[in-house]
Amino acid sequence: MSDSNNHSRDGDDLWMRTKFGPRSTRLAVMMGHRNFRALFRFVLILAGLVTSYSFLFQLLMAHEGQQHSMVTGFYWTLSTMSTLGYGDVRFITDPGRLFSIVVLLSGIVFMLVLLPFIFIELFYEPWMEARAADLIPKSVPEDMNDHVILTFYGPVSAVLIEKLEHFNYPYVVVLPEVEQVTQLVDAGINSILGELNDPETWEKARVEHAALVATTRDDIVNTSVVFTVRGITDKTPVVATARSADSGQILKLAGSSRVLDLTHLVAESLARRVSGGANISHVIGKIDDLLIAEVDSGRTSLIGKGYLEAQRLTSVSIVGFWARGSFEIGQADSVIKENTLLVMAGSRQQLKEFDANFQAEAVQPPSNPVIIIGGGRVGRASAAALKRRGVEYRVVEKLEERVLEPEIYIHGSGGDKSVLQLAGIETAQTVIITTGDDETNIYLTIFCRLLRPDIQIICRTTFERNLAAMHRAGCDMALSYASLGANALFNLLHRVDLLMVAEGLDVFKVPVPEELVGKTLAEADLRQRTNCSVIGIDSHDKTTTNPGPDSRLPEEGEIVLIGTPESETEFLKLYPAS
């Protein structure tokens, strides 16, 4: 998903910049011409008004029997309009005094209102903006290397910057808007001003020395960014987001190293959370040879067993449990309950063995269709992902033009009880809410939970700040577009060793800390110290899954851990990367 949707406007803007040069220069020239024309018109109107009043002054004075020169007429008109009112020249009849009132009132409008406004609008504010533009940064420090260059500050970029700061990666946001750069600099966000299609901007951003360029604007601007960067360097990786397959092809031809369809990424992640399909476990992520999977506890024979007992029985590593949006790391006193999702880690073969050995005898794969509320790009992509898994679905869509297949699509509002009943809300196992508005998704979550207290509800959210509200509303699993997008971009920064399993749960791989080399997992006691759980050990290009407490941490090896962002921070604080 692009951070901007107005393709037509941005396309026109791009054409203008290409035709007339950098926008800052073009705007300065255009503003100068516009301001001069506006001032010239105002002066003409004011001069005509003063001249007209001066002639009328002569006529009315002659009517009163007074004789004054034309210079006196202009003198009286200007002193009256400016409210100075010297009083040495004045009318003595009512018609003359009425005329004086008209001149005075028009002077108030022109001299005291319009003139200051025009001065401020056409001259003072542009001068202040130009002065501010001169003060804001337009280049990065000369010693900045291996940094990430961003071209937009939105939900995805904000989360990505947090991750970059967390792992001590330098970055800079390049923006063509003076006001936005000023706001970001004031907020402590490293930003510089520059036109995105101007090679000089990228040279000042030291793109040849950057580790990554990530552009998340609309497809047209992204293409321009990629093309401009490739005119300077072929070495720096450039990642661009795209809203369509055609745009993806164009971006690749322009020179993009990688094209991301974040909408498709969100849809795939939503579909992976659905319990169903032929296997009781379904893979939700992968890091090297280690697969992360979830299992509906109700479809296993492990309900009622203690965590340690279940761990001894299985070859996979049971990491913890999801219950209504909160994750709990497996503890010695934990018991596997119904209505929870088990999070497991293991090889593909280990997961196959788990499916074969621990499927509950009386439980059959759910056959009731999954309900998808929202037939937009995310909804359609989620439907396609479910179809590939062999899971039936129904799509509820309010806009008639999006109703593609009448036998699968239900035309109507997701907030209408009769529409949801027609879609099968009373028997469905899962509902996926995919609209792009967080407030609407919260409303629909509460509504679905009211209709079916026991249904699995999976939600899409745009902003991280709304995740807690989603869970309070009754959502079982909420996935943030911003977090997924930022995580995908971050993984391309030579970091294929970080995986966001779900909102608030990461799998990450780090080199074995020097102080832990040679120790067993029991001696390292990482779960107690950091609340992270070790789910794999990499050594000599081989991954050991579900390592036991007696497993030793090898020199020049890596460990794979799972935990919340807070526990990840605690680990990195205790064992900082060298």
Per residue of the chain (578 residues), what is the pLDDT tens digit? 444 344 333 433 433 343 334 444 444 545 556 667 777 787 888 888 889 998 999 888 888 888 888 899 889 988 888 888 888 888 888 888 899 889 889 888 888 788 788 778 777 777 777 766 667 889 999 999 999 999 999 888 998 998 888 878 899 999 998 888 888 988 899 999 999 999 999 999 999 999 999 999 999 999 999 999 999 999 999 999 998 888 889 999 999 998 988 888 888 778 877 765 556 777 777 777 788 888 878 778 888 888 888 888 888 888 878 765 567 777 778 888 876 778 888 888 888 888 888 887 654 455 689 999 999 888 998 998 888 878 889 999 999 888 888 889 999 999 999 999 999 999 998 999 999 899 999 999 999 999 999 888 999 888 878 888 888 898 888 888 888 888 888 877 755 455 666 656 778 888 888 888 889 988 988 888 888 888 888 887 777 777 878 888 988 888 888 887 778 778 888 887 65
Q: Do domains 23-135 and 138-260 have the same CATH topology?
A: no
What CATH number has the domain spanning 138-260?
3.40.50.720
Structure tokens at 212: 């990554």
- pTM score of the predicted model: 0.63
Long-range contacts of 244-250 (CB under 8 A, 24+ apart): 244/219, 247/219, 247/222, 247/223, 250/219, 250/223
Nearest in space to 294 (alpha carbons), one of 286, 302, 282, 276: 282
Where would I find the beta strands (DSSP E) of 434-502? 456-461, 477-480, 498-502
What CATH number has the domain spanning 279-357?
3.30.70.1450
Look at residue 544 and give its three-state secondary structure.
strand
DSSP string, 490-504: HHTTT-TTEEEEETT
CA angle 118-119-125, nearest 5°?
100
Question: Which residues share a beta bridge with 370?
Answer: 393
Q: Give the integer Cα–Cα distance in Å for 124 and 39.
A: 13
In the block, tokens 């297949």 appear at 405
Contact predicate 535/505, CB 8 Å: no
State phi, psi for 15 to the nearest 5 degrees: -60, -45
Domain boundaries, the chain: 23-135, 138-260, 279-357, 370-482, 504-574
4 to 220, 256, 499: CA distances (angstroms): 11, 19, 26
- Multiple choice CATH, 504-574, 3.10.20.30, 3.40.50.1000, 3.30.70.1450, 3.30.70.20: 3.30.70.1450
Reported as type and span, the H/E element at residue 320 is strand 317-323
- Multiple choice CATH, 23-135, 3.60.10.10, 3.90.550.10, 1.20.58.2240, 1.10.287.70: 1.10.287.70
Nearest in space to 1 (alpha carbons), one of 486, 485, 491: 485
State phi, psi for 409 to the nearest 5 degrees: -90, 140
DSSP string, 136-186: S--S--TT--S-EEES--SHHHHHHHHHHHHTT--EEEEES-HHHHHHHHH
State phi, psi for 503 to the nearest 5 degrees: -60, 115
What CATH number has the domain spanning 370-482?
3.40.50.720
By CB neighbour count within 10 A (0-12 exposed, 13-18 middle, 19+ buried), where does 71 fall? Answer: exposed
| CB-based burial, 1-31: b 16+ in 10 Å, e otherwise | bbbbeeeeebeeebeebeeeebbbeebeeee
The 8-class DSSP code of residue 406 comes to T
| Alpha-carbon torsion (370, 373, 377, 378), positive or negative | negative
